Chains A and B, each alone.
Chain A
Amino acid sequence: MRFGAAIDVAELAAGIVLAGAVLALWRKDLRALTSVLSLQGAALATVAAVLAVRDGDVGLGVVAGVVLVAKGLVIPYLLARVVRADPGSRETSPLVNVPASLFTAAVLVVVSYLVAGRLTALFPDPLTRLAPLGLATVLVGFFVLVTRRKAISQIVGLLLVDNGVALVAFLLTAGVPLLVELGASLDVLLVVVVLQVLATTMQARFGHVDLDQLRELHD
């Protein structure tokens, strides 16, 4: 049963995506976060590649390659450049401390199994079954976004949300149509470029990229 092993690989890779999100909550060193994202991107590409082999889908194979390059290499590289502009930067004061964050992550995983489990039960399939992992990644990404104050952590939160959505898309539907998938990857890449430019400008202008100290606009 050759394909059974491939399913195992996909399961492992999907697990790594969620583990990456939890790791992002745990580590305060911003440089480590870029490696976590790189790992996550590679795992995501693996899931796509397994699906491409299963379905004999060339288009999905192309998508796997694009994901590997965009999410595994280019985006982490762009983030590393922001981090380098602000050396020694750490997420010093998250609004919620690490143990509480990890506990929240556990709760979020349970929640996503409750929500998505009902959907995947409708159409049972060894890979659809893993969709809650993607949803949990989305929720953890959200949690990072609302509790972390460094610009770079917020970009990481956004990317976690995005990777989670991509994982759900691969697992449930073996990827949206090629054109949409490529457009979506390009859009995400451009958003990260835009955020990188803004973060570097803020760093140059204010000497920090701490969003707590950016409070000029309010009512």
Chain B
Amino acid sequence: MLLVVIVSVPLAAGALAAVLPWCRAIGWAMALADAAVLGLGVVLAVQTDRHRAADGLDGLLRADALSAFMVVVIGAVSLLATIQSIRYLEAEIAGGEHSARHSSLYSLLVQVFVACMLAAVLSANLGALWVAVEATTVATTFLVGHRRTDKALEASWKYVLICSVGIALAFLGTVLVYFAALHVPGHPTGASVLDWTSLMHDSHRLDPGVVRLAMALLVLGYGTKVGLAPMHSWLPDAHSQAPAPVSALMSGVLLTVAFYALLRFKAVADGALGPDFTRMLLVIVGLASLLVAASLLLTQRDVKRMLAYHSIEHMGLIALGAAAGTTLAIAAVLLHILGHGLAKAVLFLASGEILLVEGTSEIDKIPALLARRPLLGGIFGFGLVALLGLPPFSLFVSELNMIRGEAAVGLGWAAGLSLVAMAVIFAAVMAHSRHLLLGGPTASPSATSRLVGIPLVGGLVACAAFGLSAWPLQSLLDAAARVVVR
């Protein structure tokens, strides 16, 4: 029951936005719905922590600690994004760029998008998971193209085409897993063949040859949606062209929802093949992503593109952490998913505000932000500190634990390479942001809207709090990691 409610809340909010003309109250209703998702996610997390798993909708939905954790992440990031959407939409209407009708459509699509992500992490069936992930592509395409510029159009074309091809490969992988499961004697038949619980139970009896091919296709396919190199080429365009709140959602949670799918399949594949094969695949795509991010971040001139390449870096780090696959490493991967989600959402939302008040997102044209707009500059600066993995933010803890996990399973060399890439990225981001935050002429400071300030500072404080002490989360993280580790 709880699971059905969680998925329906954003859908109901979206329906409300579709039928009523857009106004500020509707915007707050959307934020309230996502706050409810966050609250219900916490309730679900407590429940799954106590008694193993929750069912819903005749066994179609199912939640364990891992799903509950993902619901919390989705709720938190979408709450930030929908609050910021109010400001974004009001500025758009005031500027005469779009009508209230566009705002209604925008609100509807955002809520459908959130509901699709929730359905993905709550579905009991790996086939239904695929349907939900594919549906996120459809829901977000028009959001990417919302600004209706030529560039936005080009970005949404690339996005939908590349992601659809990727996800078609993931479907082929899912079909092969299904094929393998059909040939296990005694495995449940009918719709429940692809239930992850039954697949986990029988995973050691799946045919290794079939699973190997399936896993390669799944890493390639879902990896496209995660934005892992070499299938990342859509990501910088889509994330830089979408409206800032949409970028925050896509970068902060959509990427990791796709990664959640990989974690589920990894658990099944590890049962059939042992950990080595999937580990090799994840190390390859992880290191490739870090290489791409490090080499292309150096030349970025646009704030949002810089953040987009940063996402590729973090997805690479998560892939390496998952490759290690110990309980410590997976718990760190999950904490990293949360920390990256919060920090990246805050930064994208801040960059949206920068675009709004400065009229540009080119780094060269926005000097000395810290002196001119202390609060906005401060949020952006601390957000970068968080994203670069410095203490006290939680990304520091999670990166450290992922590296420890990698070293423990003989992936120390990969961890070393990832540290080199991170150092290059650190230097590149410092060089870009020094100008943005400090350089150039100074002027008298001006204030930043409270609608921007309060939620973004809140996001950063949460990110720092989990870095200082993960105790409210630790038992959930451990329980979720044990779902994946065999």
Contacts and interface: CB of A to CB of B under 8 A. Distances in A.
A162 B161 CA distance: 12
Nearest to B302: A219
A198 B160 contact: yes
A62 to B, nearest CB: 14
B137 A168 contact: no
Interface string B164-200: 1100110110111011001100000011011000000
A179 interface: yes
Interface residues of A, number: 43
A180 B192 CA distance: 11
A122 interface: yes
A195 interface: yes
A115 interface: yes
Contacts of A155: 161
B128 A180 contact: yes
A178 interface: yes
B161 A165 contact: no
Interface in A115-150: 115, 118-119, 122-123, 138, 142, 145
A176 B134 contact: no
A165 B171 contact: yes
A176 B160 contact: no
B153 interface: yes
Interface residues of chain A: helix, strand, loop or mixed (majority): helix
A161 B165 contact: yes
A216 B168 contact: no
Interface stretch (B138-146, B355-363, B367-375, B472-480): B138-146
B209 A118 contact: yes
B154 A214 contact: yes
Give the 5 A-B residue pairs with the shortest CB-CB distance, closest first: A180-B127, A183-B131, A177-B191, A187-B134, A169-B175
Interface residues of chain B: helix, strand, loop or mixed (majority): helix
A177 B127 contact: yes
Size category of the binding interface on chain B: 35 or more
A138 B183 CA distance: 24
Given A119-B213, A162-B168, A205-B150, A191 B138 contact: yes
Contacts of A6: none
A202 interface: yes
B155 A176 contact: no
Interface string A166-189: 001100110011111001100100
A116 to B, nearest CB: 8
Nearest to A187: B134
A5 interface: no
B209 A184 contact: no
Contacts of B237: 217
Interface string A189-219: 0110011001101100110000100101101
B175 A172 contact: yes
Contacts of A176: 127, 174-175, 178, 194
